Amino acid sequence: MKFETAATTNPIDQLKVIGKPLSRIDGPLKTTGMAPYAYERHDVVSNPAYGYVVGSAIAKGRIASIDLGKAKAAPGVLAIITAENAGKLGKGDRNTAKLLGGPEIEHYHQAIALVVADSFEQARAGAELVHVDYVKAEGAFDLEAVKDTGKPRAPFGGPADTAVGDFDRAFAAAPVRLDATYTTPDQAHAMMEPHASIAAWNGDKLTLWTSNQMIAWGVGDVAKTLDIPKENVRLVSSFVGGGFGGKLFLRSDALLAALGARVVGRPVKVALQRPLMFNNTTHRPATIQRIRIGASRDGKITAIGHEEWSGNLPDGRAEGAVSQTRLLYAGANRMTATRLAALDLAEGNAMRAPGEASGMMALEIAIDEMAEKLGLDPIEFRILNDTQIDPERPTRPFSQRQLTECFRTGAERFGWSKRDPRPGRVRDGRWMIGIGTAAAFRNNLVVKSAARVRLDRSGIVTVETDMTDIGTGSYTIIAQTAAEMMGVPLEKVVVRLGDSTFPVSSGSGGQFGGNSSTAGVYAACVKLREAVAQKLGFNSAEAEFADGEVRAGNRRVPLAEAAADAGLTAEDGVEFGDLDKKYQQSTFGAHFVEVGVDAATAEIRVRRMLAVCAAGRILNPKTARSQVIGAMTMGVGAALMEELVVDKRKGFFVNHDLAAYEVPVHADIPRQEMFFLDETDPMSSPMKAKGVAELGICGVASAVANAVYNATGVRVRDYPITLDKLLEQMPDVG
């Protein structure tokens, strides 16, 4: 199906199942421990061996020698895989560093060996006996130190630099100006389920049960790395225990499990140990951001410039923290620039809302600072500079843009009018109270997606697509789509996901998964409806599918009759035309946060949070709400605690476990409220939906930062906002 014109009336618009806050159909499996995650697939292999990954002890250099003698002689050890005996390996299209290092070392904890043994404990004990001698080399580990060596590098989804009008001239002429620098640290995905895989060979065919967000990408990169045909690779990822972008690509667990299984001739299980994950896999890279804003005295932005520096391995990608600045606010004279410096740290790559999450952490503080300079309310300043067209491409309107409505609604619900704009004026006992806000923004991406739908003689509709569920509710919204389209109750729908033998979907990532994958299911159901109507002698354009029947005029036929004994199967997908070129498709929101700051210790406590989102049709308000409040929680972590601390001498993340890498826990998170504006976007997809999972994190950290400033009068521009950055500047409150 080609989606080239705006969606108008279609069966989805019945909203009998779609749009309802239904509980997850996979919930019982997860709450009873029956959901089969990758490492736990006891049902698919027998007599597995276990692999334990050895990571490099240096960040830059080479392996001089590696002594495996004692490890090979250890009880239960079956084989040890290294770059010397693994055979020729390619590199997947989406891998920056080699997944099996040696002799050259590209970053700390790069995998250099896999010890395979009869039990996990034996593999771990054997790994302790691997002795490696290294020749160290000088590396670059400090972004600030190498910032000026940064080169233009295009981030995902846009050019490195953009320019409209004459920014320098307009900024110099502006009567009110801001010129400030902000920093964000390296951050870790820290998902609950580690990277884990089981590999099994059947002749020259490989099956990987793995934890992966993008099945088709994984198949292609496994095949390329192992130099085998794609048709010889099967990936299965039925359930994923969190990913946040860290499982978009093939990682060392999957590759090494495959190599180990090939050598020992039996299935091999590999899970990356938690302390290895932080340096071995990907992370959100640190940024340095300079933002300049010029405005007239009445608050109209006349010049806005955003420059970003991030670091990565030499062939890596830039973070792209300037992305939202190209679209969020009006202003005739504009400039953005993205610079990437080479660092010898682990690979920086996609983490929930890559680019915008980091960029909004800076931009939305800058907007508040500019509002204060102008003597304007922060919300009114944002509304004053709202726009319904792409500021860099004035001929392209937004398909939907309700940013102003998000702020107006949120301000009323949160009690913004009671906020004292003067910092440090509101107290509750020992707590200094502040309220802050920030815009939320994330682009709406659409990706080609397909599905197979089958109707059997009992009226059961089975959906198969390689779409994954990373905790987002994919199973449920796909089931709702099929139920709505085929006119059956939810319990009559079976959903099978995450298998490369199924039609290729969008996969889970970039906030495109829910909208795109359900659109693919919609397309397959349209085809199945046509087949059913033809089989039963109905005009497909007139046939109504409802309550398990097909109806037209005075005729009613049970849906199951069309299946007969053989059943009916249809397969189709949606390919998006150029509507996203004609219209700028984005999602919008507003975050509101109240904090308390201890007047004596500068301890920060988040007291209340509200998010108002405009993100197209909400397919399931219950699962969507879960996504947004989870993202809000991550935003609190980004604001107040999350930081991968770099040892700038040795070149590694020091706090590489969940004991030292701090993330919010229940006690850190207060009452969270969220509200969806009533919105459908017919330009986005047949579902008229958009993504929401990443919108919820964009802007949260800056709303916290702005609230802290309102509470204390101390402006912190370097994340995370820890008490040591407040203490010396805290007002003397007696």
Enumerate the domain spans of the chain.
2-35+446-580, 398-444+585-734
Q: For position 42, what pLDDT does the model report?
A: 85
The Cα 521–Cα 527 span in angstroms is 10
**Residue 575 buriedness (CB in 10 A; 0-12 / 13-18 / 19+):** middle
To 10 degrees, what angle do helices 252-264 and 215-226 make?
A: 50
CA 83 distance to own-chain centroid: 32
Query: Helices (DSSP H) in 150-273: which residue ranges?
Result: 167-173, 215-226, 252-264
The Cα 300–Cα 198 span in angstroms is 58
Backbone phi, psi, residue 561, to 5° = -60, -30
Q: For position 731, what pLDDT does the model report?
A: 86
Take residue 227 and report the two structure tokens written for it.
Answer: 């130099």
If we measure between CA atoms, which residue out of 246, 186, 188 comes closest to residue 646?
186
If we measure between CA atoms, which residue out of 113, 51, 54, 129 comes closest to residue 81?
113
Say which amino acid occupies 510. G
* H-helix or E-strand spanning residue 533: helix 513-536
Q: DSSP states of 606-618 as a string?
A: EEEEEEEEE-BB-
Q: Between β-strands 549-552 and 544-546, what pairing exists: parallel, antiparallel or unpaired? A: antiparallel
Q: For position 581, what pLDDT does the model report?
A: 86
Strand extents, DSSP E, 619-689: 646-647, 652-653, 671-676
* H-helix or E-strand spanning residue 432: strand 431-443
If we measure between CA atoms, which residue out of 101, 35, 711, 18 comes closest to residue 433?
711
- pTM reported for the whole predicted model: 0.97
Residues in a beta bridge with 206: 201, 233
Q: Between β-strands 568-576 and 2-3, what pairing exists: parallel, antiparallel or unpaired? A: parallel
CATH number among 3.40.50.10440, 3.30.365.10, 3.30.210.10, 3.20.20.150, domain 2-35+446-580: 3.30.365.10
Q: For position 733, what pLDDT does the model report?
A: 64
Are the C-beta atoms of residues 674 and 613 closer than 8 Å to each other?
A: yes
Tell me whether the omega of the peptide bond preceding residue 720 falls within 30 degrees of 0, making it cis: yes
Take residue 582 and report the two structure tokens written for it.
Answer: 């004609």
If we measure between CA atoms, which residue out of 642, 620, 172, 587 comes closest to residue 403?
587
Mean pLDDT for all residues in the chain: 97
Residues of the chain scoring pLDDT < 70: 733-734
CATH topology of 2-35+446-580 equal to that of 398-444+585-734? yes
The Cα 436–Cα 438 span in angstroms is 7
Which residue in this structure is represented by tokens 């397959």?
524
The Cα 226–Cα 87 span in angstroms is 9
Q: Cα dist. 626→31, 33, 470, 631 in Å?
A: 16, 20, 13, 8
Take residue 583 and report the two structure tokens written for it.
Answer: 């219209």
If we measure between CA atoms, which residue out of 100, 83, 637, 697 comes closest to residue 360?
697
Buried b / exposed e over 580-602, threshold 16 CB at 10 Å, is: beebbbbbbbbbbbbbbbbbeeb
What are the catalytic residues?
694
* H-helix or E-strand spanning residue 581: helix 579-582
Q: Between β-strands 233-236 and 205-210, what pairing exists: parallel, antiparallel or unpaired? A: parallel
> Which residues contact residue 727 at a Cβ distance below 8 angstroms, ignoring those fewer than 6 apart?
601, 602
If we measure between CA atoms, which residue out of 327, 419, 336, 383 comes closest to residue 590?
383
On whether the 398-444+585-734 domain is CATH 3.30.365.10, my answer is: yes
Residues in a beta bridge with 496: 464
Q: SS3 for 114?
A: strand
The Cα 170–Cα 305 span in angstroms is 11
How many CB atoms neighbour CB 250 within 10 A? Answer: 29
Q: For position 734, what pLDDT does the model report?
A: 56
The Cα 126–Cα 559 span in angstroms is 60
Q: What angle (nearest 5°) sits at the alpha carbon of residue 582, between those of residues 580 and 584? A: 55
Backbone phi, psi, residue 438, to 5° = -165, 150
